[in-house]
Amino acid sequence: MAPNLVEHVVADAGAFLKRAPLQEIGKNIYTLKDVVDEIRDKPTRRSLAFLPYELHFKEPLPEHIRTVTEFSKKTGDYASLSATDIKVLALAYQLELEHVGSEHLKKEPDVKVNIQSTKRHPETPVNVAGFHFPSKKTSGSSKTTPSHTRTNSCSEPQADESEHFSSFNFWREPLPSLSNDLLSLLEPVAEDTAEKPKPEKTATEKQTKSQTTSTATKSGEEFSSFYFWREPLPSFDEDLLSLLSDSGVPEPKLDSTHSKDIDEDKENEPQKEEEGDDEDDGGGWITPGNIKQVKMESGDWSQPEDVKVGCLTTDFAMQNVLIQIGLHVLSVNGMVIKQARNYILRCHACFKTTTHMERVFCSHCGNKTLKKLAVTVNEDGSIQMHFSKNPKVLNPKGLRYSLPLPQGGKHGSNPHLVEDQRYPQQRLSRKARQKTDVFAPDYAAGSSPFSEHDIYSRAANLHLRDSQCGAGRKRANPNAPRKKFVKQK
């Protein structure tokens, strides 16, 4: 059966880096020029020069870019997507609208994450050793209950102690022993297998056993649980050995000729095994020749539906957005995410959460300590957070260096550490801000009729632009020497 080819395939940079056979996946292959510009290695760029299919370059419309951007912010993947990734998603969205329609596409994610403050934080430990967490009860009942339990425990007889003893006495009824049940099961077997009556035990042994049992019962009644005493368990070794000896099962004896044949067979066995190993040497190994067949057999393959538009990418953030928006995801080696997840930002300083994924600083404490966290909403509405076990998530790299001294002036370059910290003005020079009007009556034409450019002021040397600002520490160690770019000859 011939495989169903996808009509229109939008390829990301991962498809070209993995050398995916796109001519076997789709009929019309689309991509962006920005995607090709991202590829820097020479083998991949050499393979792009000789493709066995036609590669179409197409740019998405601005309204589709805006739609995909807003949707990725709601899913929480906006911070993980580059400008080229958003354009690739917008192109797939545009082709889906042109060839399929917009009825099945979603404007918002299905599962909305609404963070509600709870009385107890989910990371608060429960029943910590050494700490007392009293239950919320009335003061009268909490004072009267201990005295009531103590009086009952002292006044009731010893037979009903298990019902009225409190947890402070650490008392329980003895557990039933399994020795009697096992002995009762072994008694009928002993009666069937035994042919000869066992010799009766002497009277002295009976007397000693009766004395030990009587003393054990007396001591069991006298000793309390505080002495940590119990009756000794009976040993089953002697009874089992006696049963096996009475059964009289003869041991099989081998003839000399038969034993010789067995010895010869044993000597020939390792040679046969070695020969079989040599014959089956290439049976279970995965080689470059059978790797495709192994992948086909290991996966759960079914007849795919007719897909007209699909996006081939290896980026999990892009796959998450595609699945939640309703687009088809194609993969090179079957590396597709199993389920779609929503993300929130969690502050690891004050443990507050927010669903505004475009925030840089925590809205509660104001620090730059927000980390992306995957969450799922259960059926009962409770939110389950999925923490990462990777220690590099909270990597303190670059924080051991001391902060540089604050710089003054309108062009001070200070690290922006908190949200309410004031930015420097970073204003442009007066010459750069003025607009030259050649039709003004006071215009004095100089050496050039065009507007003059500011290239000598400090703002021009710092390459400042209007509304330019940033956040966080720019470099780990401000005292480290900078490496200047040297053009290779």
CA distances for 260 relative to 222, 266, 268, 272, 273, angstroms: 67, 10, 13, 19, 21
- How far apart CA 446 and CA 328 sit, in angstroms, is 61
Q: Which residues contact 95 (CB under 8 A, 6 or more apart)?
A: 8, 10, 30, 309
Query: Most distant CA pair in the chain: distance in Å?
Result: 140
* 342 token code pair: 């929503």
To the nearest 10°, report the CA torsion of 260, 265, 267, 272. Answer: 170
Q: Which residues contact 69 (CB under 8 A, 6 or more apart)?
A: 78, 86
* 145 token code pair: 């209950």
Name residue 11's beta-bridge partners: 312
- The angle formed by the CA atoms of residues 178, 179 and 185, to the nearest 5 degrees, is 95
Amino acid at 441: P
- How far apart CA 143 and CA 62 sit, in angstroms, is 72
Contact 375, 114 (CB under 8 A): no
469 is in an annotated binding site: no
Of 105, 66, 86, 73, nearest in space to 10 by CA: 86
154 is in an annotated binding site: no
> Token pair 């169903």 is at which residue?
4
Contact 343, 73 (CB under 8 A): no
> Token pair 């404490």 is at which residue?
365
Q: What is the DSSP string of 333-392?
A: SS---SS--EEEEEETTT--EES-TT--S-TTT-BS-EEEEEEEE-TTS-EEEE----GG
Q: Which residues contact 1 (CB under 8 A, 6 or more apart)?
A: none
Name residue 55's beta-bridge partners: 29
- How far apart CA 283 and CA 294 sit, in angstroms, is 12
Of 383, 380, 379, 382, nearest in space to 342 by CA: 383
350 is in an annotated binding site: yes
Annotated binding site for Zn(2+): 347, 350, 362, 365
Annotated binding site: 347, 350, 362, 365
